[in-house]
Chains A and B, each alone.
Chain A
Amino acid sequence: MSRYWPRLREEAHELYREVGTLRGRVRQLERELATAQNTADRLRAANERLTASVDQTKARLRAIERSKGWRLIMKVRGTVRRRKPAPSAGEVPGVPEENGPPSAATLAPEPTFAQRRAAEAARRADVAAELAWWIEDATRARGSIVVVLAGDRSAATTGSFIGAAKEAGDPVLLLDAEPRDGVGGIPTGINPTLVPDLLAMDVPGKERLLVVTAPGHVGIRWVVPAQQQGWWTAVVLDGSISPAAVYLASHSDVASVPDDAAARALEAATGVRPVIHAAPSARDLLQGARAGWDALPRAVLGSD
């Protein structure tokens, strides 16, 4: 036994080492198995989510394809293609022709999103073209002031500015209104609005004046951007002091009120002194604006 002991001990040690190695290998394989199982679980879960998503999407697609609206669109598209084999650059798929003969599309209960967008874009393009013509005419007009009004067409003040502008040959435009009777206009609901295009107009040799004849959202929205584009801005107030009137009086270049009492009231409410005119003209307002009113926005922005 003692003769074989060293060899046995050496073999035992080798076995211990091998056992140790094998135990390590087992642990490593267990870890790899756990990792693989986790990965499999994650992939299974991802697969389930993706399968559910595919099913949902397929169901959505089936629902769309089975809907009356879709079938109608397909039918109309077939008609359009037959009528017009080569689509033009501006065509929007699925949009019926506006001037075509009555078709099934005209009976569609609700326009699709694409149809609404296309109609909106077409409407905007028409208004933009009309605005471009108005701007072109404005540059050639004999009058020396371009007058843009923010107010109610039916109100007397607005009407008198329109009448006076026409008489003087000044180009005049009413915001939030249809162009009509020689008065330019940007109708409501044009999205995105064309007012920035209007304010950016370049008319060498003419002054540009934005007159707010009714304190409201249109004037509030555009007084500061107009100033930034080099326009003079004015608000014509009837003496009543609403929050909108307070805002416009303190942010425009000039505010006009009909009498001294209204002037005192406005000054008390806003800290600014208005000019007094029973019926101001565009030229009165221009003079008042130029007279050195340091409008608050101009001071804040340093744009003077």
Chain B
Amino acid sequence: MRPRIVFAYRYASPGGPVTQLLARLELFASHFDVRMLFEWDLGGVSLFPPDIVTVAPSFQSQVDAIAELKPDVFVVIDSGWREPWIRAGSPGKLVMEVHTTTANLTFLDELRAAQRIDLFICASKYLASLLAERGLGDIAPIAVVPNTLRSGWVEKADPWDAPAPILLWIGRLEPHKGVRRFIALCDALDEQNVLPMLIGGTNDTDEEVMDTVERLCGLPRKQRPIWLTKVPHDRMRRIYASAAASGGMLVMTSDNENFPNTVVEAAMMGCPVVAPSVGGIPELLPRQALFPQGDDDAARALISRALADDAFRTSIADGARAIIEPLVRPEDALPAYLAALERAL
């Protein structure tokens, strides 16, 4: 009989951790009986087989769900779910997967005070160091397990025939992701005939949505900007392929990142990425694809070079893939997770 592993996360929305959980469902099923718990469905539950997922919005329903599932390993992703697990009698081992960044230090402090954690898992060495610095290694071992991709996800996609090089930006519109900085970069690079493309925004605040539209569409541009507030994950392959084929790239402007899936996906689809040298990003990209965080001049110069120099674009795309591919191989995902769990079990 396979041990039961239960992953608990707050929202089931397409993208983000749900993408990672879908990959794990596929890759871990040979060893584990995999189940998912969510507090709310934001359109992600239908992506899973129906008997795999439980949505438990109230505290009592969460306690009941955990008690019924009787997990051998209970994995909490980021926040919530610990109190119901304790109230359900603390079944199995408790694993905390931490994906947060320094933008959310309170969460780490809460973990510091938490009881009965058997293992911490994070995707980047950067975050593992951060947890260790904050003394979480005294509570439980800290293991680094990189995120993975679903097998077959990197199959080629037909690109859209874009009229100009796409500068692609993906994320929530909240300030630390740097959407304003991205749009300002597009303004500065407009003379180079770039096509700004934003992905994301359905779950952001009214003010953030309006601020973004005013910055993006408030001034005339050489190319009509594109903003897709929501894109199904399987369509993202076409987005990355389109950016790559157009001579463009994915541009990151975050104040901090842990193990950004967008960077992984773009690199695996052959789309060049330029990003600030911050958080876990330097673990994923070659040095020449990085610019100092907050240095807009350096970012602009790097993007300009990548737009103008095909050999450079190829070099940073190939370099990123060479780093990322060994980290996210689907066949390595289960052994890496099991090796980490061994420390707790």
A139 within 8 A of B: no
Contacts beyond the supplied A243-B216, A303-B235: 6 A-B pairs with Cβ under 8 Å: A222-B202, A228-B232, A247-B216, A251-B226, A270-B224, A301-B235
B301 within 8 A of A: no
The answer for the CA separation of A302 and B197 in the assembled complex, in Å, is 15
Given known A-B contacts A49-B135, A50-B138, A302-B158, A93 and B59 have beta carbons under 8 A apart: yes
Q: How far is the CB of A161 from chain B (nearest CB, A)?
A: 22
Q: List 21 A-B contacts (CB under 8 A).
A: A56-B113, A57-B113, A60-B113, A89-B60, A118-B59, A192-B13, A193-B42, A216-B210, A217-B210, A220-B201, A220-B209, A220-B210, A221-B201, A222-B202, A224-B228, A224-B231, A228-B230, A228-B231, A243-B214, A244-B210, A244-B217
Q: How far is the CB of A44 from chain B (nearest CB, A)?
A: 13
Q: Interface 1/0s, chain A 220-248, versus B by CB < 8 A?
A: 11111100100000000000000110110
The answer for the CA separation of A228 and B232 in the assembled complex, in Å, is 8
Pair B112/A225 contact, Cβ less than 8 Å: no
The answer for the CA separation of A88 and B63 in the assembled complex, in Å, is 12
Pair B209/A221 contact, Cβ less than 8 Å: yes
The answer for the CA separation of A46 and B210 in the assembled complex, in Å, is 49
Which A residues touch B216, using CB under 8 A? 243, 247
B288 within 8 A of A: no
> What residues of chain A have their CB less than 8 Å away from a CB belonging to chain B?
46, 49-50, 53, 56-57, 60, 87-93, 114, 118, 121, 124-125, 192-193, 196, 200, 216-217, 220-225, 228, 243-244, 246-247, 250-251, 269-271, 296-297, 299-303
Q: How far is the CB of A120 from chain B (nearest CB, A)?
A: 9
How many residue pairs, one in A and one in B, have C-beta atoms under 8 Å apart? 113
Which B residues touch A220, using CB under 8 A? 201, 209-210, 213, 227, 229
Given known A-B contacts A89-B64, A271-B224, A118 and B230 have beta carbons under 8 A apart: no
A243 interface neighbour in B59, B61, B218, Cβ under 8 Å = B218
Which A residues touch B158, using CB under 8 A? 302
Pair A300/B239 contact, Cβ less than 8 Å: yes
Which B residues touch A222, using CB under 8 A? 202, 229
B70 within 8 A of A: no
Q: Which size class do B's interface residues fall under?
A: 35 or more
Pair B231/A301 contact, Cβ less than 8 Å: yes
The answer for the CA separation of A114 and B62 in the assembled complex, in Å, is 13
Pair B60/A244 contact, Cβ less than 8 Å: no
Which 9 residue pairs spanning A and B have beta carbons closest together? A243-B217, A217-B209, A196-B43, A246-B217, A243-B218, A217-B206, A225-B230, A243-B214, A247-B217
Q: How far is the CB of A165 from chain B (nearest CB, A)?
A: 25
Which A residues touch B13, using CB under 8 A? 192
Looking across the interface, which residue of chain A has its beta carbon closest to that of B209? Answer: A217
B32 within 8 A of A: no
Q: Interface 1/0s, chain B 212-256, versus A by CB < 8 A?
A: 011011101000101111111001001100100000000000000
Pair B160/A196 contact, Cβ less than 8 Å: no
Which B residues touch A251, using CB under 8 A? 226-227
The answer for the CA separation of A37 and B229 in the assembled complex, in Å, is 58
> What residues of chain B have their CB less than 8 Å away from a CB belonging to chain A?
11, 13, 40-43, 57-61, 64, 112-113, 135, 138, 158, 160, 197, 201-203, 206, 209-210, 213-214, 216-218, 220, 224, 226-232, 235, 238-239, 242
Which A residues touch B64, using CB under 8 A? 89
* Residues of B contacting A: mostly: mixed
Which A residues touch B229, using CB under 8 A? 220-225
Q: How far is the CB of B13 from chain A (nearest CB, A)?
A: 8
The answer for the CA separation of A46 and B92 in the assembled complex, in Å, is 26
The answer for the CA separation of A60 and B109 in the assembled complex, in Å, is 13
Which B residues touch A250, using CB under 8 A? 224
Pair A53/B230 contact, Cβ less than 8 Å: no
Pair A302/B235 contact, Cβ less than 8 Å: yes
B228 interface neighbour in A124, A192, A300, Cβ under 8 Å = A300
Which B residues touch A228, using CB under 8 A? 230-232
The answer for the CA separation of A271 and B222 in the assembled complex, in Å, is 11
Given known A-B contacts A49-B135, A196-B42, A243-B217, A297 and B228 have beta carbons under 8 A apart: yes
Looking across the interface, which residue of chain B has its beta carbon closest to that of A241? Answer: B217
B113 interface neighbour in A53, A125, A301, Cβ under 8 Å = A53
Pair B217/A296 contact, Cβ less than 8 Å: no
The answer for the CA separation of A90 and B235 in the assembled complex, in Å, is 37
Pair B60/A91 contact, Cβ less than 8 Å: yes
Which A residues touch B231, using CB under 8 A? 224, 228, 301
The answer for the CA separation of A89 and B63 in the assembled complex, in Å, is 10
The answer for the CA separation of A99 and B138 in the assembled complex, in Å, is 47
Which B residues touch A271, using CB under 8 A? 224
Given known A-B contacts A91-B60, A302-B235, A303-B235, A224 and B224 have beta carbons under 8 A apart: no
Q: How far is the CB of B89 from chain A (nearest CB, A)?
A: 16
The answer for the CA separation of A300 and B218 in the assembled complex, in Å, is 22
Given known A-B contacts A196-B43, A220-B213, A270-B224, A121 and B58 have beta carbons under 8 A apart: yes
Which A residues touch B217, using CB under 8 A? 243-244, 246-247
Q: How far is the CB of A57 from chain B (nearest CB, A)?
A: 5
Which A residues touch B210, using CB under 8 A? 216-217, 220, 244
Pair B160/A302 contact, Cβ less than 8 Å: yes
Given known A-B contacts A53-B112, A300-B226, A247 and B59 have beta carbons under 8 A apart: no
Looking across the interface, which residue of chain A has its beta carbon closest to that of B40? Answer: A192
A90 interface neighbour in B42, B58, B226, Cβ under 8 Å = B58
